[in-house]
Structure 1
Amino acid sequence: MKSMNYLYAILVMLSLVNCSKDTVNPTEAIEKNTLNDVVRDNFGLTYLATALYKSGLNKVLMQAGSYTLLAPSDDAYKAAGYQNPAAVYAEPVSKLTEQGNYHILKAPLLFTGKALKMNQEEETLLGTKVYWSRVKRGQDTLTTINGGRLLQADTKAANGVMQVLDRLLVANVHSNLKQALAANVDLSLFYQALKAAGLLESLAGTANYTVFALNNTAIKQMGYPDLEAIEKADPAALKKLLSYHVAKERKFAQDYFLLTPQGTTSYTETMLNEKTLTINLLGQYNVPNSFTGITVKGTGNSWALTPVRTDVLAGNGVIHVMGQVLQQ
């Protein structure tokens, strides 16, 4: 580990010394105060600086243009499992490039004075979208991007603007929920159950949904241990069960928090079968407008359930992975 830390220190020193020597088209280069400079000068963005350097995207952020950089803080990288910048540098270039391109918007996005809206889309250099929401909650105006909180807004540079986030965004690479579910091995039985129930194709359309997807453990606990059992099941029974796990419209976990008045600790969600479930909001005690997650309770559940994972994004919605069935 010490050798990795030394390697990182050397790489950072080299990047700082040689940054001005990077080969950039002279007609496109900006002399100073680029987004790359803003990142390098911010001590709270060392993980991001490492990712940009390794992927070569630091050169993009030196060029003329008008970009928006969605900048995950160092704490955001740590929360995503990176112990230090050396761990970021160890990632494959292809992964860092995809990840980085998803954090750069093609156009400037300023939030000061921005209208209050939910789930507004913006296109990234990756070619897929991110979604921002902005609401007034009590005395505070809160802004989120893909469900992550905006920490520092509208830091301007010569070639764009930087927005600092508390979350490292996971690149949206699936055009629809059907594709996103198919790509997750731990949701394979849920995918097949949706297909058998006649619900799968609707998740491949243009309408937006929120899916509380049951992982394979949860499906097996329901009495469907494999694909054969699902194929033998009554489609009507499967549809009744699974339609209670899908809601209309895209809602990230923190969107439920944004949609409730200050002081409210739960949100009532209406599912496809017109029945409701309760989304409980979690936060830090005595910290105004804090949010740490959600629990979910069906009308037939004896207690609230904690999602295994939240905010898995697709082009037409979002997935929250559940390890237990929502009972109606």
Structure 2
Amino acid sequence: MNFISTISKFALLAILATGFVACSDDDEAGDIIVPSNSIVDFVADNDDYSSLAAALEVAGLTASLDGNANYTVFAPNNAAFNAFLSANGFDSLDDVPEDLLREVLLNHLQSGEIMASDLSTGYISSMATGMASEDPLSLYINTEDGVMINGMAEVTNADIEVDNGVIHAVDAVIGLPSIVDFATADPTFEILVQALTREDEFTFVETLQMTEDPAPFTVFAPTNDAFVALLEELELSGLGDIPTETLSAVLRYHVVAGANVRSGDLSDDMMVETLHGDSFTVNLGDAVTITDARDRTATVIAADVQANNGVIHVLDTVILPAE
């Protein structure tokens, strides 16, 4: 290749480079501007998410979700917002109190990028806080058949990647969960729910949905296996064989009213007064255990499931009040 040919080659490359720059967006200083595709851009550019876009703006979250920090967003569409407004007695988004709207939206957010394959059945923390505590609210994820959140919102389109995170489209707004919401969403508590609703006269469900006095609640929730073991211990064939008065007393013995007692608030030999009236004793060690009024022991196998109106600690044994 001769000298003239070499010059011609570089001239051609220079022309191509100039043409490439000319086809890019420039700012006033001549710098190349790379078009962004942030979470906010995605929502704004999709008509089916106009309600979410408006809600983010009202709640003051637009700037955060348009920045450099990465987030995972469970994104409800317009139909989901309409259903949420109707179910809660709001005529429009403008009727939702701003602080409530902000917490509801934060309940759809996770810090960092979480792909659908990273999720597993169990509890994670959202970015929202509820009325009972300054600690983050929990989200119950069920991945047995797709991805279901708090038993109310299903992921319909997963892993939409944007510049500052990932979006999972959901078919419902994930409201601030009550203790009852977690109990009904988590199949671990199926027998507990059956017990709470066995009698028409029982008001446990209505009570444990309350957000005012006697809320907040601390619930020590026995698993299905715990109830099966109790029936064997009492030599009963099923839940229906437990007398109504006894069942009511046992259920109230698992509830503390007027306090959101998280695991960090517990101390060794702590006496805990229950909604039933009897107390039990907390023991700290390698695991948190509870000694009931009959000197039986239960172990806390999962702690600090935070709801809007209280907290749940999961027990491996049904505790019993005095005879």
Q: What range is the shorter-chain TM-score in?
A: 0.3 to 0.5
- Name the TM-score, length of structure 1 as normaliser: 0.46
- Name the TM-score, length of structure 2 as normaliser: 0.47
